[in-house]
Structure 1
Amino acid sequence: MKKATSLLLLFLIFSCGIDDDILHTHIELQELYDESELVGLSVAIVDNRKVLYKNSFGHADINKNKRYSSHTIQNIGSISKTFIALAVMKAVEQGKLDLDTNINTYLPFDVIHPLYPEKPITVRHLATHTSGITDGEVYYRSYLFEDPNQLDVSAFPEDYQPIVELIKANVKIDDSVFFENALSASGPWYSQDSFLENAPGEKYEYSNIAAALAAFVVESATGISYESYTHKYIFEPLHMDATGWSFNDVNMQNHATLYYAKDFEVPKYSLVTKADGGLITSNSDFSKYLIEMMRGYQGKGKLLSAASYKEMFRLQSKHSEIKEAMGGIFWDINDNKTIGHTGGDPGIITSCMFDPIKNRGYYLVTNTSEEFNINIERSIEKIWKTLINENPNHK
């Protein structure tokens, strides 16, 4: 049966005009998935016009025997931040926002670095992870279990149980309340530990809270909720019909169950600061977005002007430590000129990248995370290298 399936696959791939490299990639991906402990996996290869290869492996839900497909949806972790980049640049285009203006010009409360009150935090600082804002334990207050009363904390490894208990006690609040509680000097969660000892603009420190705050700045500056703004200016123009920021925005029949392991489901959760890691989408929808990013890099995108795309993908700092750490507006710019981002959260690992020279874009998403199993991380690394054709065994 396996042989017959493989022969059928070869026929289908050849009949669709897929080149030899992608055929070899497909065969290797199947082998790597079969060897892994991943539950579900979906990948795509695109160019600046179309999807060249898209496939899914394994299960979206084991108990329901539901297969993972290109239309399966789940949250994608920190790749969500690249959508903040688009929203920021769109607001700049509209004259609602300036990258180098003090964020307190837009916010309904002040966020001031306690050690450098005279040094304003700007939108550009937030968008390049150089604001001086750090996550710390307060970021755990962003996570919300959908059904905390049914949660068995003892099922988690002992060193994770205090974090689970902390999250279990969280209650749903608006993101504006979260930011004011955490970052305003009068907020009940406020601590100087939420800020680095370095002034804004001096040091790179990856910050989920700062990224989500950038989305809230967009909301405050435009007078439109971030969810509505991204729907209007990103999802709708790209026909990303299966994409949204909450469970109410999407068809939950297509949502994957998330896993730590095949016998350990991740409790259903969401984020108060959803902009930094809570976007729910499918491989099919994200492929449309990735194609647009590639076209935007070439000055041919439809969501932003060529100048705005150029700024978004421009290396933002000449400072060596900052330059090596990030790159563009919420996008990683790598030494080999590729551009991308990764994501990770309970039950989630994602990666996206495009190579402007080769005119290729790549995307990977799985509903399995590596917290309790290092083999998951190793499998993803092999699968990713094979997908982007960097596997040493790839002929």
Structure 2
Amino acid sequence: MKTLSKLICIGTVILLFNTNIVRAQNEPPFSIKPLGSNSNITLEFLDGYIESQMEENHISGMAASVVVGDEIVWTKEAGLANRETGTEVTDSTLFLTYSVSKNFTGLALMQQYDKGLFGLDDDINDYLPFEFVHPQFPGATITFRMLMTHTAGITEPWSLIIGLMVEGHDTPIALSEFMENFFVPGGEYYSTSHFSNFEPGTVFSYSNVGATLAGYLAEVISGIPFNDYCKDSLLKPMGMDNSSFLLADIDTNNLARPYEHNGSTFTPLGHISNPTLPAGFFRTSNRQMANYLKTLVNNGNFEGEQIIRHHGHRPHIAK
């Protein structure tokens, strides 16, 4: 019998759930207890463990997979995708993945790197249609590596991000419009408070706007709108045809509804969108996410097609 700890060493695990995270994404809505270092934890144990954590943390529905090599060795769907209709979670139920979205944004940009279209330590201003100058360190060079490792000196302006959230449809603000108005002085969303007091490249500071800028650079360098590029160059080759950053692309009847739990009841929430699409608004299913996991554990290769070179997908991934 395979143990979970050994599987994690040679495989990858993903868990999707429909609990509300409209609050800051660095403030989790619940805290799943760690499994510890017990090397004898089995996948059979994981079934019961997840169910107990769902009950304890009031999670309406979830889906998870464990992938080893080319094989899905364990999968689980539990709970309800929609409590009002009684719709159960299946392996094709779509979930909003929040910051897992950054995986695909990083891959989109690194595909451009694979093609030799930029260097990791290049100045991003050599590629942007506007100039990004850090107001506290105007002489600093901001590089692709800094963006991808959250060291570019961009803060997390949550009041702005939450204020731009829309419900029931995709954001009307284009990626290019949001980026220019955020980074250029005088822009609608510009503020010197959006930038850190430490020199770029020196301190880790998690930034959804920085990840969004990475997605915008993938769009600018490829010459293809970000979501279209991801669909054609990443998702379709990995068999993830029903996944997307846009609500308009998917069947919302098959999308797990988010819920907020107040201690006694579940309150249904709407499906949301935001100009920071590349940072947190990718939607996919357990079945399709498993294909991405296969790609990761097989050095960027999915069923014989090299999605990204193995040297490009490992050294430059930040936690």
The question of a shared fold, defined as TM-score above 0.5 by the shorter chain, is answered with: yes
Distance of aligned partners of 1:199 and 1:33 in 2 relative to their CA distance in 1, 3 Å threshold:
closer
Would the alpha carbon gap of residues 107 and 141 (structure 1) be closer, same or farther in structure 2, given more than 3 Å must change?
farther
- Alignment of 1:55 with 2:58, yes or no, is no
Match of 1:25 in 2: 46
Q: 1:268 aligns with which of 268, 271, 296?
A: 271
Distance 2:230 2:308 in 1: 13
Contact 2:80 2:86 in 1 (8 A): yes
Alignment of 1:282-297 (within 5 A): 282-296=285-299
Q: Secondary structure at the match of 2:95?
A: strand
State the TM-score, normalized to the length of structure 1: 0.65
Match of 2:12 in 1: none
Quote how far apart the aligned CAs of 1:306 are: 2.5
Find the aligned partners of 2:132 and 2:195 in 1 and give their Cα distance: 11
RMSD: 2.3
State the shift of 1:131 in Å.
0.3
Matched to 2:282, the amino acid is L
Instruction: Return the match for 2:97 from 59, 73, 76.
Output: 76
SS for the counterpart of 2:102 is: helix
Q: Go from structure 1 to structure 2 and tell me whether the alpha carbon gap of 1:187 and 1:34 turns closer, same or farther (over 3 Å shift).
A: closer
| 1:247 positional shift | 1.2
The residue identity in structure 2 corresponding to 1:271 is N
* Separation of aligned partners in 2, 1:277 and 1:36: 22
In the alignment, the residues of structure 2 paired with residue 221 and residue 297 of structure 1 have an alpha-carbon distance, to the nearest angstrom, of: 21
For 1:95, what is the secondary structure of its paired residue? coil
Equivalent residue, structure 2, for 1:105: 126
Query: How many residues end up aligned between the 2 structures?
Result: 275
Match for residue 306 of structure 1? 310
* Correspondence 1:136-175 to 2 at 5 A: 136=157, 137-146=159-168, 172-175=172-175
Per-residue CA deviation, residues 56-77 of structure 1 (Å, 9 max, x unaligned), is 1110001100001111102100
Identical amino acids, percent of aligned pairs: 26
Alpha-carbon deviations, 1:314-334, whole Å to 9, x = none? 2xxxxxxxxxxxxx43x32xx
Whole-Å separation in 2 of the counterparts to 1:31 and 1:184: 49
What residue is the counterpart of 1:244 in the other structure? Answer: 244
- Identify unmatched segments of 5+ residues in structure 2: 1-39
Alpha-carbon distance in structure 2 between the residues aligned to 1:56 and 1:283: 8
3-state secondary structure, aligned to 1:296 = coil
148, 154, 161: which one pairs with 1:127?
A: 148
State the one-letter code of the partner of 2:283.
Answer: I
Question: Do the aligned partners of 2:171 and 2:274 also contact (CA within 8 Å) in 1?
Answer: no
TM-aligned CA deviation for residue 223 of structure 1: 0.6
Alpha-carbon offset, residue 32 of structure 1: 4.1
Q: Is contact 1:129–1:204 with CA below 8 Å preserved after alignment? A: yes
Q: What corresponds to 2:138 in structure 1?
A: 117
Q: Give unmatched runs, 5+ long, in structure 1.
A: 1-18, 148-169, 315-327, 333-395
- Provide the C-alpha distance between the structure 2 equivalents of 1:142 and 1:35, rounded to a whole number of angstroms: 32
The residue type paired with residue 68 of structure 1 is V
- Structure showing the higher helix proportion among its residues: 1
Quick one: which amino acid aligns to residue 97 of structure 1?
Answer: F
Distance between the aligned counterparts of 1:296 and 1:203, measured in 2?
Answer: 29
Q: CA deviation at 1:97?
A: 2.2
Summarize the Cα distance change of 1:93–1:272 in structure 2 as closer, same or farther, 3 Å threshold.
same
Alpha-carbon distance between aligned partners in 2 of 1:25 and 1:146, rounded to the nearest angstrom: 35
- Cα 1:239/1:43, change in 2 over 3 Å: same
Aligned counterpart in structure 1 of residue 87 of structure 2, from 63, 66, 69 = 66
Aligned-residue offset at 1:139:
2.4
Post-superposition shift, 1:242?
A: 1.7
Given the superposition, is the C-alpha separation of residues 260 and 287 from structure 1 closer, same or farther in structure 2, using an over 3 Å criterion?
A: same
| Cα distance change, pair 29–145 in 1 and its aligned pair in 2 (3 A) | closer
Alignment check: 8 A CA contact 1:70 1:283 kept: yes
Highest Rg: 1 or 2?
Answer: 1
- Which residue matches 1:38? 59
Deviation sequence 1:111-154 (CA, Å, 0-9, x none): 1101211112111111100000112232224421238xxxxxxx
Q: Distance in 1 between matches of 2:202 and 2:235?
A: 35
- 8 Å contact kept, 1:48–1:295: yes
Could you state the TM-score of these two structures normalised by the residue count of structure 2? 0.80
Paired with 2:269 and 2:187, the residues of 1 have a C-alpha distance of 31
Q: How far, CA to CA, are the matches of 1:273 and 1:173 in structure 2?
A: 10
**Cα 1:107–1:197 shift into 2, 3 Å:** same
Partner of 1:6: none
Secondary structure of the structure 2 residue equivalent to 1:132 = coil
